[in-house]
Amino acid sequence: MSETLLRDRIELERQKLREADINRFGAIERKADVTTVLFDTLREEFRKWREGAVSDEDLDKREDKIMSAVKEQLGHICDHLATQNATQSNEILTKVGQMFTEQKITMAKDQLAQSHALLEANANTRREIIRYGVGFALSVIGTVIAALIIFYATGR
């Protein structure tokens, strides 16, 4: 797998994660909008109650309850975001690790194929050298035998 393909795969994963983040943040914004509407509704009810002889102490207590509920919801949202972020980070790291492992395996296979090809070429070269050597030795032996026959035949 080439480095370009690896980068492309990582970029696609990043785009998918960005899109998931956008969807997640949209859901959080909708929850925040609902919380804001509820808060505004409660504020309007408080105004009506205040007009209906609700004391300032009661309003302060209810406002404190509302603020604690809002803080609790924000805490839940932050916890959710942290959990999702950690999960996504682990998934990305796992996928990148798998891609690097696949690339290492591919490179090892390529290197092994090259080594086999080099060994085969060396073996072929040795066979050719031995064949030429045997052929040369046989031609020298044949020449020597022919010379001996000629010397024998001529009487020398």
d(CA 133, CA 130): 5
- Look at residue 101 in the predicted model and tell me its pLDDT: 93
- pLDDT the model gives residue 49: 65
Q: Distance (Å, rounded) from C-alpha 125 to C-alpha 132?
A: 11
Is the dihedral angle over the CA atoms 91, 85, 4, 97 positive or is it negative? Answer: negative
CA-CA distance, 129 to 135, in Å (whole number)?
Answer: 10
Give the residue, 83 or 54, on which the prediction is more confident. Answer: 83
Q: How confident is the model at residue 27 (pLDDT cuts 50, 70, 90)?
A: confident
pTM as predicted: 0.40
pLDDT digits (tens, 9 = 90+) for 100-146: 999 999 999 999 999 999 999 999 999 999 999 999 988 989 898 98
Predicted local confidence at residue 153, as pLDDT: 86
